[in-house]
Amino acid sequence: MLTRSAQAGHSMKRDFIVATLVAGSVAAGCARETEDRPSMPDERKVLMDSMPQGPPADSMAAEMERAWEGDSAR
Amino acid sequence: MPTDRRDFLKLAAASAAGLVAGGCGWEGGSFKSVLRWWEKPNEVLQRALTDPHRFAKEHPEGREGAPFPQYFISPRLPTVDVASWRLKVGGAVGNPLNLSLADLMRLPRSTIRVRHYCVEGWTAVAEWTGVPVAELAVAARADPAAGFVEFRSFDSGYWSSWDRESAFHPQSLIAYGMNGGPLMPGHGAPARLYSNRKYGYKSVKYLTEVNFLPVNTGGYYENLGYEWYAGL
């Protein structure tokens, strides 16, 4: 039969293992979302800043409306 | 306050987890290889649990629920001149295509009204009209040996690649219509990929290219560590 202090020691060990597992799991989850940046070849990158400014969103929406109506009329 | 050593240890465990969570800038160290190794068995398990040929349930009108959020990675809403926009269809194809929106609208179309499940936790029902990717493959005479389909965009180069089976599902669409009207700039106009069989980050908006390829070319978020298969 375990003494009271031995039981307390086992509990502490168990808590330490649980704590380690919890911390490890969170760390693993974080690591999944913080891996290296995408390794897309530079020549295929289309950076917004290097692109010509597109039309205002409302005029693009109007263009989409016209295309949609033209398609519906066909 | 902790009342004994056990409570103290529990508090320490929670604090340690919080510190690690707070320090998410950590690169992952030796966990990376383990996590990368685990992704393949995870994908096999997902394929086994989710029938890739299953059709998503169609929902009647009037059950939209929450509005669809808008997503893009660019610092401002990506827009383009619709008249000069083209969708390039290439890779391992016998008939490369360069389609205007009108060309796309002339291809066989499909309309689906399904519930979308986002990785962030929200769901919403929307109707999508567009060309099934499988029809695009027919028009471009895609090589049957090309096991992957890559989708590229003008949203700061955002891209994703799919397994052929998922991309060729009849409910995987190159959508140009949403909720009975045209697709709007906030939702990926002139055309975007849509499927409710995968998490939303796989549905590339603001499309510029569809490439049928023999290799998996990853994706923007996938290369940051998000799951590649991401099946639902």
Q: Whole-angstrom Cα distance, residue B133 to residue B175? A: 10
Is B156 within 8 Å of A46 when comparing Cβ atoms?
A: yes
ipTM of predicted complex: 0.76
State how far the alpha carbon of B220 is from the alpha carbons of A37, A40, A41, B177, B183, in Å: 8, 8, 12, 25, 23
- pLDDT of A18 reads 57
Confidence of residue B215 (pLDDT cuts 50, 70, 90): very high
- Which chain A residues contact residue B83 at CB under 8 A? 63
pTM for the model: 0.72
Q: Are B194 and B173 in contact (CB under 8 A)?
A: yes
- pLDDT of B57 reads 75
pLDDT of B173 above 80: yes
- Which chain A residues contact residue B24 at CB under 8 A? 30, 33-34
pLDDT > 90: what percent of chain B?
55
- pLDDT of B22 reads 37
Q: Whole-angstrom Cα distance, residue B19 to residue A19? A: 12
For residue B27, the SS3 value is coil
Is B223 within 8 Å of A40 when comparing Cβ atoms?
A: yes
pLDDT single digits (tens) B81-131: 999 999 999 999 999 999 999 999 999 999 999 988 887 788 888 999 999
The whole-number average pLDDT for the span B63-80 is 83
> CA nearest B80 in A: which residue?
A54
Q: Whole-angstrom Cα distance, residue B58 to residue B61? A: 10
The DSSP bridge pattern shows strands B123-132 and B110-117 to be antiparallel
Give me chain B's average pLDDT, please.
Answer: 83
pLDDT > 70: what percent of chain B?
79
Q: Whole-angstrom Cα distance, residue B128 to residue A10? A: 59
A13-27, A44-58, B187-201: which has the minimum mean pLDDT? A13-27
Is A63 within 8 Å of B185 when comparing Cβ atoms?
A: no
Q: Are B170 and B116 in contact (CB under 8 A)?
A: no
Confidence of residue B227 (pLDDT cuts 50, 70, 90): confident
pLDDT of B218 above 60: yes
Residues in chain B: 232
pLDDT single digits (tens) B151-167: 999 998 899 999 999 99
For residue B82, the SS3 value is coil
A4-18, B21-35, B110-124: which has the minimum mean pLDDT? B21-35
pLDDT of B11 above 50: no
Nearest CA to B232 out of B150, B155, B172 is that of B172
A34-48, A59-73, B60-74, B199-213: which has the minimum mean pLDDT? A34-48
User: Which of B165 and A47 is assigned the larger pLDDT?
Assistant: B165
